[in-house]
Amino acid sequence: MVTEAVEVTRVVDRAHRESWSTVLSSVVRLTRDLDLAEDCTQDAFVQALRTWPDGIPDNPAGWLTTVARRLALDRLRRETNLRRKLPLLVEQPDEAEQPTDPLRLVFTCCHPALARESQVALTLRLICGLTTREVAAVLLIGEATAAARITRAKKKIAAAGIPYRIPADHELPARMDVVLTVVHLVYTAGYVATGVELTRADLTGRAIELARMLERLMPDEPEPLALLGLLLMTEARGDARVSADGELVLLADQDRSRWDGKLLAEGVSRATSALQRGHGRFALQAAVAGLHVTAPSWEKTDWGQVVRMYDAMMVSWPTPIVALNRVAARSLVPGADLEAVLVELDALSKEPALATYAYLPATRADVLTRLDRPEQAAEAYKQAIHLTANETERRFLTTRLTNLNR
């Protein structure tokens, strides 16, 4: 039975979203060569587009893994340096992928020998299958810069012979912060995706899966526990973020009865446990999320306490985005001096890291609207619309801009 091309494309696209990192990780384990593994994984998806019209396999991920590994072995056999590579083939070619393979790949990408910015860019590319453009959007950098970071990281891994494995216990602390950062960025990339859909459940799901692995790997560390709590509390609000007609709903307007109570309870429990054991940056972020989800309503949120959490974050993690979140929270404290808030926002607009960050002009537009300055608010909304890479968010901002003129 011949399958329609549209259906095949849909299934291959879903397999790419759900299984890219699993297939790639399995091939990396076989070859220990990132470029070769990535090429063969991509070729396997191309073969799927060509052959699946004759019948879609029952296990698309298994089919893709088998084909990608066979392609890799064929390439290795043809290379003149096969003898040098053979000792690295410590796994049998037909062995099924291991559950921890994606986590092994994360730790490989986050090796201390690599520059921090290259670690993050490479992991987003390999674990998420994000395009270079999407990686650049997540990291708020130019596409050429993202490409250069990815290329440099791959070359460094090959030249230094960085092993493909989960580190020994004594090596974990040195890599923990960057690994947690990368997993959080994976979730962020899915939470507000590039393109038409607001979210990519494959990315948010992958991030939560990795966070659970990390928590099991380091049960005595509070930060992996805090990250997992943060992601679960955020994920619990997912269904309420979009209305029945597909429009964005801000936290202030969400129907809290639509939140996932089970995920929420687990997230709050893990975040509370983490906060009892430490006050790292993920514990503080989880505390902010906890203040939001445990408040009876948006209006009754303890904004003063939220600001204090961001104050603490600015001590240990003084990034422009944390500073922006702090200012946004300050604007919501009852009786806040909005003119002073606007001055702080204008100062942040000079930060290079926020030059392409749509939430800065969007926050500015909201404050200007509350200050009854519609003309200036309109300009800020236009800037935010221009910088937004997600169609759902763009529609939301456009509606806000339109409403200014009514």
Class of domain 1-85: mainly alpha
Q: What is the pLDDT of residue 150?
A: 92
Split at pLDDT 50, 70, 90, the class of 170 is: confident
Q: What is the pLDDT of residue 93?
A: 41
φ/ψ of residue 195, rounded to 5: 120, -150
Q: What is the 3-state secondary structure (H, E, C) of the chain?
A: CCCCHHHHHHHHHHHHHHHHHHHHHHHHHHHCCHHHHHHHHHHHHHHHHHHHHHCCCCCHHHHHHHHHHHHHHHHHHHCCCHHHHHHHCCCCCCCCCCCCHHHHHHHHHCCCCCCHHHHHHHHHHHHHCCCHHHHHHHHCCCHHHHHHHHHHHHHHHHHHCCCCCCCCHHHHHHHHHHHHHHHHHHHHHHHCCCECCCCCHHHHHHHHHHHHHHHHHCCCCHHHHHHHHHHHHHHHCHHHHECCCCCECCHHHCCHHHCCHHHHHHHHHHHHHHHHHCCCHHHHHHHHHHHHHHCCCCCCCCHHHHHHHHHHHHHHCCCHHHHHHHHHHHCCCCCCCHHHHHHHHHHHCCCHHHCCCCHHHHHHHHHHHHCCCHHHHHHHHHHHHHHCCEHHHHHHHHHHHHHHCC
Is pLDDT of 98 > 60? Answer: no
User: Average of pLDDT values for 44-61?
Assistant: 92
Split at pLDDT 50, 70, 90, the class of 76 is: confident
Q: What is the pLDDT of residue 350?
A: 94
Window from 7-11, 106-110, 315-319, 322-326 with minimum mean pLDDT: 106-110
Of the ranges 31-40, 111-120, 284-293, the best mean pLDDT one: 284-293
Split at pLDDT 50, 70, 90, the class of 99 is: low
Share of the chain above pLDDT 70, in %: 94
Q: What is the pLDDT of residue 86?
A: 47
Window from 77-86, 193-202, 372-381 with minimum mean pLDDT: 77-86
Q: Which of 127, 126, 219, 208 is nearest to 172 (CA)?
A: 219
**Environment class of residue 406 by beta-carbon count within 10 Å: exposed (0-12), middle (13-18) or buried (19+)?**
exposed
Contact indicator for 98, 92 with CB cutoff of 8 Å:
no
Q: What is the pLDDT of residue 100?
A: 60
- What is the amino acid identity at position 231? L
88 or 196: which leads in pLDDT: 196
Split at pLDDT 50, 70, 90, the class of 89 is: very low
Q: What is the pLDDT of residue 84?
A: 56
Q: What is the pLDDT of residue 135?
A: 86
Domain spans of the chain, in order of start: 1-85
Split at pLDDT 50, 70, 90, the class of 126 is: confident
Split at pLDDT 50, 70, 90, the class of 39 is: very high
User: Average of pLDDT values for 132-160?
Assistant: 87
What average pLDDT does the structure give for the chain?
Answer: 89
Q: 208-220 pLDDT, tens per residue?
A: 989 999 999 889 8
User: Average of pLDDT values for 241-257?
Assistant: 94
CA–CA dist 107, 119 (Å, integer): 9
User: Average of pLDDT values for 156-183?
Assistant: 84
User: Average of pLDDT values for 270-275?
Assistant: 96
Beta-carbon contacts of residue 175 (< 8 Å; ≥ 6 apart): 107, 110, 111, 112, 167
User: Average of pLDDT values for 110-137?
Assistant: 84
261 or 85: which leads in pLDDT: 261
Contact indicator for 225, 274 with CB cutoff of 8 Å:
yes
**Environment class of residue 224 by beta-carbon count within 10 Å: exposed (0-12), middle (13-18) or buried (19+)?**
buried
Q: 280-311 pLDDT, tens per residue?
A: 999 999 999 999 999 999 999 999 999 999 99
Split at pLDDT 50, 70, 90, the class of 149 is: very high
